[in-house]
Structure 1
């Protein structure tokens, strides 16, 4: 069974650029259910705009806790 974790992000472009400079490798957020989760910043690449990364997202994990996909579910 797949596990789904939802959270909101508001990362300005300047902050996300730290990833490209090599200063930041992971994103840490508090999920909607209260858990702190951490994942590689690279999974957000498809969601970066000129303003940064904003919206409500869902991470999907398999039974081995491997990331299957990330979905943007709203702005």
Structure 2
């Protein structure tokens, strides 16, 4: 059974590039349920615009806590 976690991000373009451009960089997010999750910054590169990474996201993981999908939902 898949699990879903929702969280918001608001990181400027410059901050994302300067802090998360390294291959091993991770992003720490706090879900709407208050759970802290650490995700590879590379998972957010497809969402990077001139304004940065902004919006509400849904993370989908499987029963073994393995990444399945990350999508912007708002």
Q: TM-score, normalised by structure 1?
A: 0.91
TM-superposed deviation, 1:24:
6.7
Gaps of 5+ in 1: none
Backbone CA RMSD of aligned residues: 1.4
Partner in structure 2 of residue 68 of structure 1: 68
Q: From the two aligned structures, give the one with the greater strand fraction.
A: 1
Q: Does 1:11 align with 2:11?
A: yes
For residues 8-67 of structure 1, the C-alpha deviation after alignment (integer angstroms, 9 at most, x for no partner) is: 0001011110222x2870000110001111100000111000110000000000111110
Partner in structure 2 of residue 29 of structure 1: 29
Gaps of 5+ in 2: none
Q: Does 1:43 align with 2:43?
A: yes
Superposed structure 1 runs of 4+ greater than 6 Å apart: none
Q: TM-score, normalised by structure 2?
A: 0.92
